[in-house]
Amino acid sequence: MTVHTTADIHPTAIIEEGATVGADCKIGPYAVVGPEVTLGANVELKSHAVIAGWTDIGDDSTVFPFASVGHIPQDLKFAGERTKLEIGKKNRIREGATISPGTEGGGGLTKIGDNNLLMMHTHVGHDCIIGNNNVLANYVGIAGHVIAGDNIVMGAHSGIHQFCRIGSGAMLAAFAAVVEDVIPYGTVSGNRAKLDALNLIGLKRRGHSKDEINALRAAYKDVFHGQQGVLRERALAALQTYPDSTLVADMVEFMTSDTNRHICTASKV
């Protein structure tokens, strides 16, 4: 066990032999840190937070009461293999949240980036790869093998089917049931979720220019509301029509890359 001399550990907390606790960490009452856990500098575990398994948590992260981080995945195929959970810096994991490590069949790693907010009772399943600066509102459920980019807002009670991809800058409405891939900067809603429009507010907040946004809006209309060819053909055509648009290139690359799911499309009008 390695505990930095500046760590503040409540007498009722349990730090198991083998754990690593970094500088200026604060471990609250009845919190538990397992034997293969590594906490970076200035990590705070509130009372009754439990960190288990082969789990790394980056600097300046906070885990709130009754969160369960790193316990074995909810996968009946899991056979006790040693797999990992990596959580980056400046994450806030709120009350009752659950995060699972990977499985051997899924690559052995669940990874969460930096500066994410996981609100109360959210769940991130095994073998997920989650980016940076995302907001998961209360009761969001992410099934196994999901890949999510950066700057995504997931509304309360929304759920994501296994093997789906969520593009950067997307927005999921509350109660959205996502069973298909969501394009970057797309907004989706409903059960089963359909593409409503682009996340224009998110685009503006990220500092994209009016010209960039207008190009993406035009390409979006061509791809998802066009009449000629199939979806993939229209996406590739948009890339030719707007060759200088990085946003269009990101959308088309996402749509034409390998995936286990269909692309979420707009409702027919």
144 flagged as catalytic: yes
Q: Is 108 exposed, middle or buried (0-12, 13-18, 19+ CB in 10 A)?
A: middle
Residue 22, CB-side half-sphere exposure with 13 Å CA sphere:
16
Query: What are 187's two structure tokens?
Result: 């907004």
Name which of 215, 220, 209, 206 is nearest 243 in CA terms: 215
Choose the catalytic residue: 60, 127, 150, 250: 127
CA distance linking residue 189 with residue 13, whole number of Å: 42
- Reduced DSSP (H G I as helix, E B as strand, rest coil) percent helix, strand, coil of the chain, to 5: 15, 30, 55
126 flagged as catalytic: yes
Choose the catalytic residue: 126, 145, 161, 208: 126
Choose the catalytic residue: 40, 113, 144, 159: 144
Kindly list the distances between the CA atom of residue 72 and the CA atoms of 22, 38, 126, in Å, as whole numbers in the listed order: 24, 17, 9
Cβ proximity of 108 and 133 under 8 Å? no
Query: What are 110's two structure tokens?
Result: 């669940």
* Catalytic residue list: 126-127, 144
